[in-house]
Structure 1
């Protein structure tokens, strides 16, 4: 059943966006949003009618052309030219879930009443979206200052009957499909192209998507690490609350509590001879907790951005001011996304180390988790894949936000590169999911050689459900299909598991 989501004047948080990742809900404007949009537009129209003042991008050129005055008779042409000329994206297409978030986040920003966009234009963007048309947007082309100009231009093209859209899984020319469906394009008024293109919604859509998935993944990562820990007969002592009470990071305490619960349950059945365990197990709270704290910090920052107006210029009707500023600059998002890359990457790095240990032939486990090593390679090569992904993530953690290249003939002389930070962070998350799928596959297999161990009920449920979809096979067999299934299983846990 399709759910409706309403845009109003409330304070938003990333969790409000989950419906847009999972599906295509219908968007509605509240009365308060309609009032804010209408009042701001009426103010600008009246201001332009009675004054001859120059306002950036309203009656001037853009970027380095900001000193070029544009005649009133050319206002509509100016805005349409802006959208057309700035749609210069290249590379892979942006996933549908991110496009949906971009549209919604742009509408939220426009509805706050500081952008002077018309209600007609907002309603047209909603109509296109609600009819199931998603603009084709490309991943590369944003500098993350003057906002996400190229991606947002692609998002806006269908409004004027340009560009391409996806509809029911297929790509169409916007003008052709809109004509067939009876959706009429519009003419953009003064400032409207600028209001649509200026903003951080490309970066923010990726950031929100990554944050929501990472936050839901966090307890599952801990559960997978617990499965590996039980299989490797790890002591629960490092997870005792006393250890973490004297170093009270929030994430560390949360992870330790979860791991202690899981391992204490099965500890009575485990015979240990080791004095200490490897860091990849013993330091799970410190490493997982640090990543969790990064995720939570970034979620707080993304919440601020969701409730911000990142247009330029900004209209303040009560103060009778139109001010040119720099809220479009993506530096806060760029730096946070670079930081988030590190947190996600470290989750993957320590996961691969646990996978490696489970294959080492120690602690009563067969080498490479096969009893016929030599003739059979067992799980030797999935670890290679995990190692490759971990290495790729380390390279992707090179920060984007420390780079800047001058653009627009020197007018836009410092940019955030937040668009690049967003796209690479999304890739880090994809790699992490595959690394975790391999650890899950490996840990469940390892446990099949230690059936005497007693698992915590939550862990036992995961193992039982997993084996019902991916049965244990002792003989060598094609493994890539199982890795793909394990990744799908992880996604199902994110949606359904009571660990959340």
Structure 2
């Protein structure tokens, strides 16, 4: 595994900007999380709380503090009941359904919410941030159902599980198991918080679920760009493709920077020094020849996707905004997750196109009509047993199925806004559903990628055994990947069940195991 994966990343919550990579480090349990103890930071956090306390005790009207929620904002809460309102908010939102988010995803969600609250515009106590810090440091992470958010007013139902856990309720992930929060808190002598006015709303009325997922999705997609380029190079070797399709001079006339980066990576992988491999055809099929144009769409999208995601991550995205410095309560709609919805709808489209590209490469490789002399379905069997063996035939079928499902998931969620909550939330982002869709597309694409990696490796092994490719003709990048695959995958000579091989390879992909271009 790359040494970079093993390093711990410092993540300081002090109101300054965090990166996608820092949220990913939190999600993977590879972060040293610390809440700032700077006096000015603490003073800024507490100033909003002091202003709120002063205002509601003077009978000021503050949405979600002295009023009901959503369409119930016209209902005034008696002063002696104001402090009970946060508990009611997270209680009635305890109706999430579906599968729960994974531990990794839930860590990312908590990290994203803490980043927003640490901006100092949400009216929460420093003590609440300390409780979130403790949960991340001790790896006590809320168990959060995936279903129930329309992405405005933010991720209310999913984030109610964070609020409830801070108060000692519901369940948490602890030591790899789902446990009752109250029992874990009692064991570790953690005092549950009684949420103050506005604190329940501040935790729940934001975009942390979709944003946490978006941070994870971005990094997985970024890695798939590089891995798809490497696999395309392997496929070109296995299919005896034309290396000139990736020539620098060719791509100089179409200057999309990400597309050109992909072409350079593949071109370098197919050369030893300045001597390109020889080829037998003038033009390869599109899934090889146009691979930089397909992968490059995602590579060129990464900068603006990062901008959308990190801007959301580093924003105060609840309502109302509490400006303690100027003593203002600002009512608005910053909980609306439109930027994340658009980013995730766009990302899942670009990622699904990688699945489609690799699936077409797999189809070429397995088919004797198109694979330039390789055995059918890449079987390694010889002699009288060759007709009996079917190699990767079923894997090719599986890759087709995974690709079809990924493509089916690309319908944009953001266009399916539903008016809800007495038509108060009459235009919503659907950002969390878009992010969940994107995670599913990534999983399916990683499955296709695993199949493509193992099959392209097998194809090159067949060429090497037939003396149609020599070891010394392979670039260092290609050679490194072949060695890494060989360390965990055995040449497929006689038919065997490949499920566990595929699952292991998918896991390595998700761990960023394969050394690629950024590791040179």
The bucket for the TM-score relative to the shorter chain is over 0.9
CA distance in 2, matches of 1:303, 1:495: 26
Distance 1:498 1:287, change over 3 A: closer
> Which of 463, 482, 489 is equivalent to 1:470?
489
Give the CA deviation at 1:21: 2.7
CA distance in 2, matches of 1:108, 1:273: 55
Deviation by residue 1:48-69 (Cα, 9 ceiling, x = unmatched): 33x3221110100001110000
Q: Is the 8 A contact 2:243 2:276 kept in 1?
A: no
Report SS of the residue matched to 1:66: helix
Judge which range, 188-197 or 361-370, deviates more: 361-370
Q: Is the 8 A contact 1:24 1:100 kept in 2?
A: no
Distance 1:269 1:401, change over 3 A: closer
State the partner residue of 2:3.
none
Q: Is the 8 A contact 1:64 1:411 kept in 2?
A: yes
Q: Is the 8 A contact 2:481 2:514 kept in 1?
A: no
Listed as ranges, the matches of 1:80-99 within 5 Å are 80-99=87-106
Give the CA deviation at 1:492: 4.5
Deviation by residue 1:435-473 (Cα, 9 ceiling, x = unmatched): 000000100000111113321111111101211211213
Give the CA deviation at 1:264: 2.8
Give the CA deviation at 1:181: 2.2
Q: Does 1:34 align with 2:42?
A: yes
> Which of 168, 190, 203 is equivalent to 1:196?
203
Q: Is the 8 A contact 1:61 1:70 kept in 2?
A: yes
- Structure 2 alignment gaps of length 5 or more: 1-6
Deviation by residue 1:185-226 (Cα, 9 ceiling, x = unmatched): 121111111101110000000000010122133212211111
Listed as ranges, the matches of 1:429-440 within 5 Å are 429-440=442-453
State the partner residue of 2:459.
446
Listed as ranges, the matches of 1:62-73 within 5 Å are 62-73=69-80
Q: Does 1:7 align with 2:26?
A: no
Report SS of the residue matched to 1:449: helix
CA distance in 1, matches of 2:123, 2:278: 70
RMSD: 1.9
- Structure 1 alignment gaps of length 5 or more: none
CA distance in 2, matches of 1:91, 1:15: 28
Distance 1:319 1:201, change over 3 A: same
Distance 1:267 1:348, change over 3 A: farther
Q: Is the 8 A contact 1:287 1:347 kept in 2?
A: yes
Listed as ranges, the matches of 1:266-305 within 5 Å are 272-305=279-312
Listed as ranges, the matches of 1:40-119 within 5 Å are 40-49=48-57, 51-119=58-126
Aligned residues, how many?
Answer: 499
Give the CA deviation at 1:269: 8.2
Q: Does 1:360 align with 2:373?
A: no
CA distance in 2, matches of 1:2, 1:389: 34
> Which of 458, 461, 478 is equivalent to 2:477?
458
Q: Is the 8 A contact 1:54 1:60 kept in 2?
A: yes
Deviation by residue 1:235-278 (Cα, 9 ceiling, x = unmatched): 12221122222211111110111111111339968553322100
Q: Is the 8 A contact 1:79 1:188 kept in 2?
A: yes
> Which of 383, 386, 402 is equivalent to 2:399?
386
TM-score (norm 2): 0.92
Q: Does 1:426 align with 2:439?
A: yes
Q: Is the 8 A contact 2:271 2:277 kept in 1?
A: no
State the partner residue of 1:312.
319
CA distance in 2, matches of 1:410, 1:283: 47
CA distance in 1, matches of 2:354, 2:363: 15
CA distance in 2, matches of 1:473, 1:493: 24
> Which of 333, 336, 345 is equivalent to 1:326?
333
Give the CA deviation at 1:101: 1.4
> Which of 132, 140, 164 is equivalent to 1:157?
164
Q: Is the 8 A contact 1:386 1:435 kept in 2?
A: yes
Q: Is the 8 A contact 2:241 2:280 kept in 1?
A: no
Give the CA deviation at 1:402: 0.2
> Which of 185, 189, 210 is equivalent to 1:182?
189
Distance 1:422 1:128, change over 3 A: same
Distance 1:121 1:492, change over 3 A: closer
CA distance in 1, matches of 2:512, 2:200: 42
State the partner residue of 2:508.
489
CA distance in 2, matches of 1:178, 1:144: 31
Judge which range, 104-113 or 193-202, deviates more: 104-113
Report SS of the residue matched to 1:246: coil
Q: Is the 8 A contact 2:243 2:279 kept in 1?
A: no
Distance 1:492 1:320, change over 3 A: closer
CA distance in 2, matches of 1:244, 1:271: 20
Judge which range, 198-207 or 447-456, deviates more: 447-456
Q: Is the 8 A contact 2:391 2:495 kept in 1?
A: yes
CA distance in 2, matches of 1:375, 1:186: 66
Distance 1:116 1:492, change over 3 A: closer
CA distance in 2, matches of 1:2, 1:177: 25
Judge which range, 201-210 or 228-237, deviates more: 228-237
Judge which range, 323-332 or 256-265, deviates more: 256-265
CA distance in 1, matches of 2:276, 2:107: 50
